[in-house]
Chains A and B, each alone.
Chain A
Amino acid sequence: DAGVTQSPTHLIKTRGQQVTLRCSPISGHKSVSWYQQVLGQGPQFIFQYYEKEERGRGNFPDRFSARQFPNYSSELNVNALLLGDSALYLCASSWTGVNSPLHFGNGTRLTVT
């Protein structure tokens, strides 16, 4: 079975631009989450979507937005990019429940110049 897939793998943008990252969950998983991982740190929670509705949002500015489609795939959008947005963006899917592990994709490495 295919794991979580993310595209693109790498992206270079300039300050002020907008970017869209894409994620396809494991088949059957209805929950999709997005995490930002800056160099040298653990991932930080950005969003969780379940059944196409936003379930939770981390401490990120409104420049960050996301959505989930009927097929449970998801997009993360970041507007007005800042240098500090340079990071590895990880998408994860899971069943719901406290004992369900998140399964992560390979991530999209975003560089803002």
Chain B
Amino acid sequence: AQKITQTQPGMFVQEKEAVTLDCTYDTSDPSYGLFWYKQPSSGEMIFLIYQGSYDQQNATEGRYSLNFQKARKSANLVISASQLGDSAMYFCAMRELTQGGSEKLVFGKGTKLTVNP
């Protein structure tokens, strides 16, 4: 079974600074997808960024980038120039394809990011 580990229950960052949220994963599948989601206090899960296991370059989406180190099985999210609106829970997730044909996301426990003014 796949597993996602987020070791930072909470992180603090000053506005305009960069922050890295850690994520490690465990899988024996050669093909997999890694996702990061943001969940504000309102509850909606907002897709941020995706990294495929065969992608040669690290994914980037605006202020978000993914530091993908395949050999170490880590997929850390880097948020540059933090904004007050970035304060939220952040979840790392892995797409799992089962033998039965279902597709599901396996989530970590999340990291609560607080951006201080």
Contacts and interface: CB of A to CB of B under 8 A. Distances in A.
Interface of A: 31, 33, 35, 40-45, 48, 55-58, 88, 90, 92, 94, 96-99, 101-107, 109
B89 to A, nearest CB: 9
Interface stretch (B27-35, B65-73, B76-84): B27-35
Q: Is the interface of B mostly helix, strand, loop or mixed?
A: strand
B101 A56 contact: yes
B71 to A, nearest CB: 20
Interface string B35-75: 10100001111110010100000000000000000000000
B44 A96 contact: no
A101 B100 contact: no
B104 A33 contact: yes
Nearest to A55: B102
Contacts of B105: 33, 35, 43, 45, 102
A6 B21 CA distance: 30
B50 A101 contact: yes
B110 to A, nearest CB: 6
B98 to A, nearest CB: 6
Nearest to A57: B102
B109 A98 contact: no
Interface string B87-117: 0000101010110111111111110000000
